[in-house]
Structure 1
Amino acid sequence: MSMIEKKLTDDLFQPAKQDKQKSEEISKPSLSFWQDAWRRLKKNRGAVIGLVAIVAIMLMAFIAPVFSKWDFNDQELMRANLPPKVKMLENVEFLGLNGVDIRGVDQYKMKNVPKDQYFVFGTDGLGRDQWVRVWKGTQISLYIAFLAAAIELIIGVTYGGISGFYGGRVDNIMMRFVEVLMGIPYLILVILFIIVLKPGVLSITLALVATGWIGMARLVRGQVMKLKHQEYVLSSKTLGSTNGRLITKHLLPNVLGTIIISITFSIPAAIFAEAFLSFIGLGIQPPTASLGSLISDGFRSIRIYPHLAIYPSIVMCILLISFNLLGDGLRDALDPKMRK
């Protein structure tokens, strides 16, 4: 007999106590689908950083212009094209934040500007505060992006849901119409709206919405066609549920995760599309500013006054990257296959 066997005596073994009332209790709190998705989203550092950056930029876009003493269209040629000047950093020669251009070519302009005037992002060619204009431009870009996403959500989900649920002849007719719209070049639609409505927020929004909902409609249609043959849908239909109840209570909630992910990716696409149209002169017109129009104006003098293009470009890049990071995080969090 080994030493281990000698140490194992009968008094070391005791029968386990069983409580029938507690045998089926759940040791951990139950989580709903959305609670579990939020828990997994918080574990994704990239998505959390993106969400924080988006919230911070949105707050700055609406708060910064309110607390600034300059209006976005206050013109003063005596302070035109000034480099950035930040309070408490006048004596720090770093990135031109002391009111002197890095190369020293703009130092003479500061003689005509009172010492108590500070321009965090500098001024443009008309002496307007670039700090206010950048955040006002961010407002316009976000407004266009969220408006386009909202209309895309309403039209795309409704159109795709009806087409996928009824199928047959209804689906064929509706999809043929979608294919016709897909064959129309996007830039031609933009030019058409601009000719009819003139360049501005309305024409850009309509141009983005005219064909922007097609991707959402096709996505929702495919998901609905896959889910409508599931057992829980067929059993609900057998029990007498109407078509409206089947769509709103069973199909749309199960497609909602896919819709949220698609919307999250469509917002940065709309921001970039607006910036592209403004950059080529088909978008926002002065004196209204957007990130795209500010980048376009700054690009013309980027060799002499680079700060006019750098700051709106940085804000736009952070927005695009943050929305993409958040979209990737939502895709992982809402995907049941990613559960551990």
Structure 2
Amino acid sequence: MLNLRELRNFVEVAERLNITIAASVVNLSQPALSRQIQALERKLGVILFERIGKRMVLTTEGADLATQAIALLEQADALAQNASRKKLEQSGVLRIGGTPQTITWLLSPAMARFRVKHPKVTLMLNEGNNDELIEMVEHGAVNVVVANLGINNVLVGQPLFQSQLFAILPPNHHCLNKRSISIEQIAKDTLIVMSRGFLTRHLYEQIAAAHNVRPKILLESDSTQSIAALARDGHGVGIVSSSAQNIAAMQNAVLIESDLYQTTSEVSALWNPKRYRPAYLQSFLGALADICAEHGLTLRPQE
């Protein structure tokens, strides 16, 4: 039979996905906590954790146990606090992932608002490109990411906004002052583009392929600021997207349009329905939706 202490220690590991940190929280040595988790796995006859590279993730069985254990522990805590009838404040860890662009204008303010309502929840932030973020949330290294779903059929999510492709034109470019341009109008220009794995790069490459354009690339960068600066100083045409949300501040930014391929793509808050989800995740999703609405972005209801 399982006892509450075993479950509490397991939940600490499940929420932090780090034995060393969890051990310090429960006042055990790292080897002692590791042995306790191994004993729990033997008792249940299932594997609760696995390693993906250097990351520790929950197995499907581990995620199921975490959900049930948290519910049981909350009931036990509620019984202990029943005399005061005070609703317990949610606590734990919420692991979030985003690109540098969405962290700046969306995740950072959403996290600040979330902390006001959930001061006892520890927020842990991971940065990466779109492909890296999808891998993180798919394997359980994070609870939620802001990214483009693409063709992934494992994850589900809440749509947040449409990311639109833009070109940052250098001074004296022949297309300056146009509202929009086609990919052919910059086909002979040197380009400064986002690194592979970013949604912006995916969008551009798909459009270029549709129009049979082979780009001449000066630099692949993770930074829209670097791209905009190089374009401003005349080194080429920068390719960015509205995921950065500071397009208006970038000089000579024009829309890229195509009659062969879409130049926008949906960005969502994504999670893995087969992995553990903290109860307070919904509150964080609400904060993301509020920030998007304040930026004038359309949020479609989840289907």
Tell whether the structures are fold-level matches, with TM greater than 0.5.
Answer: no
TM-score (normalised: structure 1): 0.25
TM-score (normalised: structure 2): 0.27
Q: Greater CA radius of gyration, 1 or 2?
A: 1
Q: Which has the higher strand share?
A: 2
Q: Which has the higher helix share?
A: 1
